Amino acid sequence: DDPGVAPTVESTAEDIAAMRIRGAATIADAAAAALASQADRSEAETPAAFRRQLRAAAKSLYETRPTAVSLPNALRYVLRGTDGETVADLRKSTIARAEAFRRDLDQAQDKLGEIGANRLRDGDIVMTHCHSTDALSCIEAALDAGKEIEAIVKETRPRKQGHITARQLRERDVPVTLIVDNAARRYLDRADHVLVGADSIAADGSVVNKVGTSGLAVNARERGVPVMVAAQTIKLHPDTMTGHTVEIEMRDEREVLAAEDDLDDADDGLVVENPAFDVTPPRYVDAIVTERGQFPPESIVTLMRELFGETTDEPWEA
Ligand code: RUB
């Protein structure tokens, strides 16, 4: 990226909140890029002022959406690694740190894809929910290895991210059957795997992903279809090791009720709720595929401890 034309923190935060930038890995990548852009543009005259601006930038990015832990993990990675006695040094180290983060993110996704592809056999049919770049990386690696894969793609109301998945799979010539969410159980009879991504994974192995994932996983278990979660380690939620829960984002009711719908949204007796994510208990998940290997959900906490250690204060609250 040319930092001269890189998006500002403000425009990135707006794009994340409005879901023009969406999906946990893509959000993390954009947040790191925005911190680099902030460092590049900063006119701070002292190291203290530079750090203050960077913390404010991180805080505004942090406050956009609450559920995908890849966002705070990205911000922590960049802020904790930023070092220097002068503004010039701080600028350089922030940009370098953000670039390293983004590179690692790409590499982790490729590596995870290769591992996940080993679970997919030639001729398998995969059912997807929402749009996950980590999940698609597994399918792409399987295709690259010469396997034929078909997909049953859930539309994913209300934002229809399934359409993005369908389009990207069709670009790779994968035969796609698009279904409404309510048809999932019926079509599980045909599927060899359920393959989804994650926004956050808790210490007990619970998977937080697009609303509808938990119902899909329960139905898959009943049908005997294995559930595979593709999630880079940046999706591991370190705060859950100390008992914190993952906040489930509630989005605007207008995503559910369109203007032309025959319902009166001024009626006080009518409540519309629009949770964006849900929690799938570990017993419904067969494998969590990361760039560090595949894990049963119950043992993910070991990896979490190794990678994140004990958590400390948020660098943007300093
Ligand atoms: C996206 C979603 C995706 C995860 C993983 O929700 O739930 O499954 O973020 O995506 P939204 P990725 O559309 O509300 O952001 O694997 O690309 O990180």
Per-residue pLDDT at 3: 47
- Asked whether this chain's domains 3-111 and 119-308 adopt the same fold, the reply is no
pLDDT at 311: 64
The answer, yes or no, to whether any atom of ligand 1 lies below 6 A from the CB of 210, is yes
The maximal CA–CA distance of the chain, rounded, in angstroms, is 64
**How many CA atoms does the CB half-sphere of 80 hold within 13 Å?**
13
Look at residue 74 in the predicted model and tell me its pLDDT: 98
Do the beta carbons of residue 165 and residue 153 sit within 8 Å? yes
For residue 83, give the amino acid letter. D
pLDDT at 312: 66
pLDDT value at residue 120: 98
Residue 91: predicted pLDDT: 98
- Angle at which helix 24-41 crosses helix 87-117, to 10 degrees, equals 160
Number of residues assigned to the chain: 318
ipTM: 0.99
pTM of the model: 0.96
d(CA 198, ligand 1 centre) in Å: 6
Domain positions in the chain are 3-111, 119-308
pLDDT at 26: 98
Fold of 3-111: Four Helix Bundle (Hemerythrin (Met), subunit A) (1.20.120)
Ligand 1 closest atom vs CA 249? 14
Q: Ligand 1, from 161, 196, 208, 213: best to mutate by most atoms within 8 Å of Cβ?
A: 161
Q: Tokens in use for 257? A: 């009720």
H-helix segments, 145-176: 162-171
User: What spacing in Å lies between the alpha carbon of 266 and ligand 1's midpoint?
Assistant: 31
Mean pLDDT by groups of 10 residues along the chain of 318 residues: 74 98 98 98 97 98 98 97 96 98 98 98 98 98 98 98 98 98 98 98 98 98 98 97 96 88 85 97 98 98 91 76
**Coil, strand or helix at 250:** strand
The 8-class DSSP code of residue 257 comes to: S
CB of residue 22 inside a 6 A radius of ligand 1:
yes
Task: Look at the domain 119-308 and name its fold.
Answer: Rossmann fold (3.40.50)
